[in-house]
Every structure is written in structure tokens, then in C-alpha cells.
Structure 1
């Protein structure tokens, strides 16, 4: 057992641009081998690498109009618009049921989401007429967005719908379905909504998770021009 060799190995991985997550997997395997299999040492005092914290990909309002406008399927268009307009995760939007929408109060009841918690989010007023078409004739427990067989959509299907719309719009950002939620939070903060309300709408336990959006909404930074 040579701790210095282990550190050098991990540094070599970092030099090859191997992600922090993968490097930590290697380190945990090494720890298990030396401590659990060979029983040479009881503990290896090497800390795991910190995960890289990249800024979320944000779509501008104009880009969102382009993406949503590129969708011809009305069900798909509504799903993408609602995910952005309410800040929903892909798992939340595909699991929405008719009874979760309160058009009168303009709210969405998101049930047993991440962390098995319920929360309320806002329902976009401009989508009332569109959503009513999909709610008509359905029971309270029916999925709003269904596949060709009458069941709920899968997360993979929803992501493919977004990917297709993104490609069709010609926008080159490396956005994903989750970028809709990122954009929702960012645009609320840009509109002056208190960060604590944004935290509540997103269902974040820790406000630090919400605070990362302030890094991409800094109006002072955006006003600075390059001296070049």
C-alpha cells in the first residue's frame, strides 16, 4: 500500500480531464480493495474530489419562443410550454394528472416529487385555453400527457420531444429538458421575484441550490462590456 502512488494515479486521471465523479469511483474502489479485501489498512485518508459545479444552461425568452414555436404537435407544445411556465422537472410533467391542475386558482399541485414531497407551483394563465382541450372528457386521475397506448409518457420520450424541438429551432446551446426549469427560475429572479418564493416554487430544501441562479442573472455583470 502506497498512498503517494494512489494520489499520483488520481492526479493523472485529473490531467486526462476525467470527471470528479469518475475519479471518486476509482478512489472508492481502491479504498474497498485495500481496506475491505486485503485488510491492509483500516482507513485511507484521501478525500474525494469535489464535483465540478458548472452553471446551468439558460434559454432566453426569445429562444424559448423559437423552441416552442417549432413544435407542430399541440400536445408536445403544451408539455414543453408548461414545463417552462411552471418550472417542472421532466418526471413531474409526465406524471401530471387532470386533478393536479387548478385553473381557477392558477396553481399546479405537484405530488411526491423529488424527496417524496408535495408542493404548489404556478399555472401560466396564457395556457388556460390549451390545457382545457386536454382536460375535456378526462377523469381527475387521468394523465394529462399520454402516449399512443393511453398510458403516461416516459421521461425519455419527453426528452426526445425537447431535443427535436431544440434542433428544429436551430439554437446551438447544449440545453436539455431540465433547462426549461433552469430558465423558469432565472426569469423569475430577473423579474424581481424574491428568491425565497422561487425556492418554494422549485421545491428546493436548501436556498443555496436556488442561489446558483443568481450567478446567471447578475444584471450588473451583463452591463459590463469587454475592453477589446
Structure 2
């Protein structure tokens, strides 16, 4: 049985499911494949296939037992249910108004996202990307589309100037429908993904950060900006904070259910703690640390606007985003001599490889190098 493998693939023709058989050219395997019931050849997929029925799957196992390994990694779905993830309510997406003439995401798609307990941001991204794809082919049935149609759509996104990250998100959203909703794992296994772009993070000088904090409209805005920088928090993490997450005795902040559903601790500034106490006495938040007028969680767009307006008042010409303050936090710690491993833990990165990007923007790396023009 050495070096003989048959990989099972999911195929679909005319809205019917089939089992694809992929293997290296081998006279013995080829002869045995042709003996399977109702087997046919596909020029499009360059493989033999037969109807996806339990009896045919059993026939494949029986036919090649002791002759070849059957690789089912692409055929049987892997469980990705995030049992520890917070529940996501998709009712607002189901009930929203859609512009006349446009198609909305199928209910089955939304229900599957809810069942899988994907993060809220991921749900919104998938829905947005899939609806764009849906309306691109709104005159055709989704079940009739193939890899060539997907490639044509992705090619259009490339021509329109979409980033590699956006194209990867589109691929994920499309694959989710076919592979998870329709339970056809790895149908589009031949779709090539663009290479992930490696861009250096944009960082502010400490003087610029302090100027932004100083130009905030009020103590609430000042605390939000200070948290983004001094604790290295993501915008979503600031919005999820609750008063009890601020631990003044241990001087740490507990970040709960962050990216990847991981809890972690990060630094609490002594200066910020005083401000937070003043803010709490003045605003009296009930549930979330930062709340809107009706006691609801503060909006992400509000945080972006707070940072943007304060940076303009500080006369900073570059476009400042909340995430830029997180990048600045990590870079300034590295420049101050903090071990990369500690910075990784504070940021909540899975690997130091992710955190190593800041070594490319930390200026202390270059301070001991003399410029050849000055030699």
C-alpha cells in the first residue's frame, strides 16, 4: 500500500453532490476506480467522481482496503464550534432593511454564523463580503457557480484595487457558504489566495501621543485615548471594558474575551487610574466603563472620531487611528528595553513572530549605528 493515496473531494454538478477521487496516475488504482458504481470523469476538475451517497462511500472504502490510503481531510468537516465564544445575535441582520434591487444574506448563512459563535466583527465582515458576492451574481443560482466564476469575481476585486486582506476575507465568506452552510467542505480547494501583505505599523512619537491626550474634549475622551495607548488595547477591547475590570490594587486591567476569545492582563497607568476615578465619579457608568447617552455600550465609530478630532487639534498631519495608539504602546515599550515576550503577553499575541514586527520600527535599533555620511 506504499505511496498509494486517494483523496476524496466534494464536487457539485447541477445542484447535486458528488464524491471526487483525486490520485496520482497509477494503472492499478485507475482500473479499480473504473469498477466503482456510476463513476464518471470530469474534464473540468480533472478527476473521477460518483454520486455522494453513503453506499458509494462505503464502496470506496471496501474497494481500496489494503490497496490505498483514503485521505478524508478535505471531505469530512472539522468542528469549529466555539463553545466558549459569547453568543452572537443575528436578528438585527435578519430584520434590517435592504436597498431595493439588492439581495440580502440568506437566513441559513446567518443562522450558521450564529451557531458557530463567530465573533461579532467576523459576522459583520462575512455578511458584507458575501452580500457583495451575492449581488455580483444575483441573476444566477449560487449552487450553479464554480471555481471559474469565483476566480472571475476575485479578479474584478483585484482590478478595483482591493487589498490582499480584503480579498482573503471575500474568499473566507464565500467558502463559508459552500463549505459550512451547504456542508460541502473544501469545494473550492483550487482557489489561490493572495499572499499576505507585510506592512510596517504606523507609530506616533510619545510627544505626539501626549499632545493628543491633552487636546481631548473632556475627561471621558481623555480616558479612552489614554487606555488605547497606555494599555495597548484594541478599540473593541476598550468598548468591552467594565468598571470591575480596572484593578487599582494590582495596577492591572483585565481584558476579557479579546481576540481569539482569550482573557489577559495588561498594564494600568498610575496617571490614568486617577483620571478614571474622576471620570467614574462624574459619569457613573452602570454596565460598561464607557456608555452612550442611553446606557448602551459606546460605539466604535465614536472612539475613532474622538481620536481623530483630538489629533487634529494637536496639529498632527498624519491620519491617526485608535490602532495606531496600540502600535505606539508596543513600540515605545520595546524602545525602553522591555523584553519582547512581555510585550507579546500584554498585546495578547499568540506568537512572538507577530510581535517581532515592532522591531522594524523601534528607533533604538538604529541609534548605535553611525550613518556613513557622518563617518
The range that moved more, 125-134 or 95-104, is 125-134
Q: Say yes or no: does 1:73 pair with 2:218.
A: yes
Q: Gaps spanning 5+ residues in structure 2: where?
A: 1-43, 45-150, 175-186
Give the direction of change, closer, same or farther, for the CA distance of 1:20–1:143 in structure 2 (3 Å limit): closer
1:134 is displaced (CA, Å) by: 2.8
Counterpart of 2:198? 53
The structure with more helix, counted as a fraction of residues: 1
Larger mean Cα displacement after TM superposition, 114-123 or 144-153: 144-153
Structure 1 spans left out of the alignment, 5+ residues: 2-6, 30-41
Tell me the distance in 2 between the aligned counterparts of 1:76 and 1:104.
Answer: 24
Query: Which structure has the greater CA radius of gyration?
Result: 2
Aligned: 1:20 with 2:164? yes
The 3 A distance-change label for structure 1 pair 123 and 22 is closer
Q: What SS is found at the alignment partner of 1:152?
A: coil
Distance, in Å, in 2 between the alignment partners of 1:172 and 1:184 is: 20
Aligned residue in 2 for 1:112: 257
- Deviation, 1:133, is 1.8
TM-score with structure 2 length normalisation? 0.50
The yes-or-no answer on 1:159 pairing with 2:304 is yes
Length-normalised TM-score, structure 1: 0.79
What is residue 344 of structure 2 aligned with on the other side? 199
Q: What is the alpha-carbon distance in structure 2 between the residues aligned to residue 137 and residue 18 of structure 1? A: 45
- Whole-Å separation in 2 of the counterparts to 1:125 and 1:224: 37
Verify the 8 A CA contact 1:98 1:138 in the aligned structure 2: no
CA RMSD of aligned residues (A): 3.6
Q: 1:13 to 1:95 in 2, by over 3 A?
A: closer
2:300 equivalent to 1:129: no
- Structure showing the higher strand proportion among its residues: 2
What is the number of residues matched between the two proteins?
A: 218
Compared CA separation, residues 43 and 80, structure 1 to 2 (3 A)? closer
Shift in CA distance, 14/115, structure 1 to aligned 2, threshold 3 Å = closer
